[in-house]
Amino acid sequence: MSVNHPAKIGKYEIQDVLGRGGMGAVYKGFDPAISRAVAIKTIAKSSLDAGELEHLLARFRHEAQVVGRLAHPGIVQIYDYGEDEELAYIVMELVNGKTLAEHLAQHANYDLREIGEIVRQLLDALGHAHAAGVVHRDMKPSNILINRDGGIKISDFGIAHTEASELTQHGDVLGTPHYMAPEQFLGLPIVVATDLYAVGVIAYDLLTGSKPFVGSTATVMQQVLNERPADPSSRNPALSPAVDRVLQRALAKKPEERFQSAREFAQTFRAAIEASLGQPAPALLDAARLIQAGAAAQAAAPAAAAGEGAISLDRSVKKARLLVIDDEERILNALKSMFRLRYHVFATTDGNKALEFMKKYQMHVVISDQRMPIMPGVELLRQAREISPASVRILLTGYSDLASIVGSINDGQVYRFISKPWNNQELQQTVAEAVTIALELAETKSAPLKLPQSMSAGVLVIDNDQEIFRVAKELLGSRCPVSYASDLDAALAALQAQEIAVVLADVEAGHEDTTAMLKLLKQEYPQILTIVVTSAADAELVIHLINEAQIFRFLNKPVNVKQLKQHVEAALERYLAFGETPQLLRQHQVREAGAVRSSSVGQKILAGLKLLRGRWFGANAKR
């Protein structure tokens, strides 16, 4: 039997064919350099007419460039792009699962809560893309992959529009008819609300079993432009009128009458789903009653029924409250057993229930798994941060998904990563540190700060070349000083010459001196925030930096200018907040890295950092 695929494409070994289309194929490949399975999407140049070849290849390259700068667990990650005489190809994350279209074709049935989670994940990923200036323009079930663990991944940004894109012209009609908004049929400008319209169609189909409009392309177009869709509740009596209101707004004819952001859509849709469910199932209710009643001694509740464990309340001692979320009962049981004597431990397998519980009761420490079917840990911790910003968040995971790790820092501000299987002593020490911080922060009141038009504390860019520095200078130079350093000596000199609030550092393989400086800088001066810029795909390096240098944000290369500005301004705000409320520094302290301190490079860095003492921002430094 002959193998109907090439042996190699570029450096990648080809193992199988995942699918074929009119212009090329998608292969399952293997990257021997880092032992990683990948998917490789190809275009066969011979399949294209000479007149359309360059335009379609430009669009293909555009897809790689657009998605390559998006780092989100809900978006299929792009690793590489290449061309040879026969093919153009994009190397991307291999997703083990099926498309939503395949699931629907196999008559998959989703309950209301599952539909709510699918739509939430879609909107969260789209919101990330929209914040980066990217509109997908072809959202449909066949472009939505579902992992075996229930995670959603958006793919095929092939006709995506960016703020700087000139690959499509006014009047182009792009999309898939059943999911196209009125402005797409009319060839009008495409906006964020265009993607949200498509999500509205997908949600409508999931909730009712049919699309808002059906028929031929001409029929659908006529209905989309002129008719109001039937209320979803008329097709599914289990739906509340709140669902009707949400989806009618999502499917409004005019873009300005729809939701203007993915987050607004997600929040409103979630409330509508909860209204359809009626009173939510009692999540952690027995534990809540213990808090309300101040019950003493022992109180036990069946973990299988409500997801919480037995809790011992000792009213004579102030105990911290730990909320643990993991989809494995054995993990929950192990953690409850480890911590129940020292803390009030609440546990559940359901992320939605955990968030509802946090809205009512303050949790000091939140420990979440990363990979869960109902709600990914990264998303749970992001929402936990919004609900309870004073809580200290820990990610407990056995799965190194780089995009998720970066998301957990940028969106969830995770304090530490603990790997499964964990070391009991390390976990207990980390939780004890988190509890100490959380109990202090619980008594701390800090008002939100607004950045002034100008400030004396500045930004230090550490990079081999000046590209990022030039961008940062243009974006922030009118607000604060922006300095540049090409190496360790120049960085120490810049720190001595100027009050620095934020360090923006390029960290790649071989940048050990920069990594060492970031660790020691955070030990000595925890109030200085660090933003790392990297193209590295090494999850272990990222986790290492988070745990030992408390990186504030991560930016992937090529750097998105809008995200760079947002992250640096957020860091400047946090720096000013430290001055107003020094207790907040506790969340940014790290353990002493003995090996780094004792090395020759470490001694050199420490000698340089000692010269910083005496500045106002050094008042809180370790002495």
- With respect to residue 196, please indicate whether it lies within any of the assigned structural domains: yes
| Residue range 96-111, pLDDT digits in tens | 888 999 988 888 888 8
% of the chain with per-residue pLDDT over 70: 81
Which is it for the CA torsion 70, 75, 77, 82, positive or negative?
A: negative
Question: How many distinct structural domains can be found in the chain?
Answer: 4
Could you tell me if 245 and 300 lie in one domain? no
Could you tell me if 422 and 524 lie in one domain? no
Side chain identity, residue 216 = S
Of 37, 72, 93, the domain-final residue: 93
- With respect to residue 623, please indicate whether it lies within any of the assigned structural domains: no
Segment (H or E) for 119 = helix 112-131
Rounded Cα distance, 522 and 578, in Å: 14
pTM here is 0.48
- With respect to residue 1, please indicate whether it lies within any of the assigned structural domains: no
Could you tell me if 187 and 314 lie in one domain? no
**Structure tokens of 252?**
């409004």
Mean pLDDT of 359-375: 82
% of the chain with per-residue pLDDT over 90: 23
- With respect to residue 50, please indicate whether it lies within any of the assigned structural domains: yes
Supply the DSSP string of 294-345, one letter for each residue. Answer: T--EEE---HHHHS---EEE-TTS---EEEEE-S-HHHHHHHHHHHTTTSEE
- With respect to residue 352, please indicate whether it lies within any of the assigned structural domains: yes
- Give the DSSP letter of residue 30: E
**Cβ contact 458:500 at 8 Å:** yes
Could you tell me if 328 and 195 lie in one domain? no
- With respect to residue 450, please indicate whether it lies within any of the assigned structural domains: no
Could you tell me if 487 and 582 lie in one domain? yes
| Residue range 18-68, pLDDT digits in tens | 887 767 888 999 998 888 889 998 888 887 777 677 777 887 787 777 777
- With respect to residue 448, please indicate whether it lies within any of the assigned structural domains: no
Beta strands in 186-330 (DSSP E): 297-299, 311-313, 321-325
Rounded Cα distance, 114 and 120, in Å: 10
| Predicted pLDDT of residue 162 | 41
Cβ count near 105 (within 10 Å): 12
| Predicted pLDDT of residue 138 | 87
| Predicted pLDDT of residue 348 | 87
Could you tell me if 135 and 241 lie in one domain? yes
Could you tell me if 603 and 472 lie in one domain? yes
Residue 242's nearest CA partner among 267, 261, 224 is: 267
Could you tell me if 139 and 253 lie in one domain? yes
Could you tell me if 290 and 433 lie in one domain? yes
ω into 282 cis (within 30 of 0)? no
Mean pLDDT of 108-134: 90
75 DSSP β-pair partners: 154
Contacts of 183 (CB under 8 A, 6+ apart): 189, 190, 191, 194, 255
Q: Say which residue the tokens 């599952």 belong to.
A: 114
Could you tell me if 18 and 83 lie in one domain? yes
Mean pLDDT, the chain, integer: 80
Please write down the long-range contacts of 314-322, taking CB distance under 8 Å and 24 or more positions apart: 318/439, 319/343, 319/344, 320/344, 320/364, 320/365, 320/435, 320/438, 320/439, 321/346, 321/361, 321/362, 321/363, 321/364, 321/365, 322/346, 322/363, 322/364, 322/365, 322/366, 322/367, 322/431, 322/435
Would you say residue 460 has pLDDT above 70?
A: yes
CATH of the domain at 235: 1.10.510.10
Would you say residue 170 has pLDDT above 80?
A: no
Could you tell me if 53 and 114 lie in one domain? no
| Predicted pLDDT of residue 402 | 61
- With respect to residue 524, please indicate whether it lies within any of the assigned structural domains: yes
Classify residue 563 by burial, with Cβ atoms within 10 Å: 0-12, 13-18, 19+: buried
Would you say residue 538 has pLDDT above 60?
A: no
Of 93, 121, 144, the domain-final residue: 93
Q: In this predicted structure, which of 115-129, 156-170, 182-196, 243-257 has the lowest mean pLDDT?
A: 156-170
Cβ count near 548 (within 10 Å): 20
CATH of the domain at 604: 3.40.50.2300
| Predicted pLDDT of residue 316 | 34
Classify residue 162 by burial, with Cβ atoms within 10 Å: 0-12, 13-18, 19+: middle
Task: Judge whether 463 counts as a catalytic residue.
Answer: no
Residue 36's domain comprises: 8-93
Segment (H or E) for 562 = helix 561-580
Place 308 in a pLDDT band, splitting at 50, 70 and 90: very low
Of 391, 414, 442, the domain-final residue: 442
Contacts of 13 (CB under 8 A, 6+ apart): 7, 29, 30, 32
Exactly one of 84, 124, 138, 369 is catalytic; name it: 138
CATH of the domain at 63: 3.30.200.20
Could you tell me if 55 and 181 lie in one domain? no
Contacts of 21 (CB under 8 A, 6+ apart): none
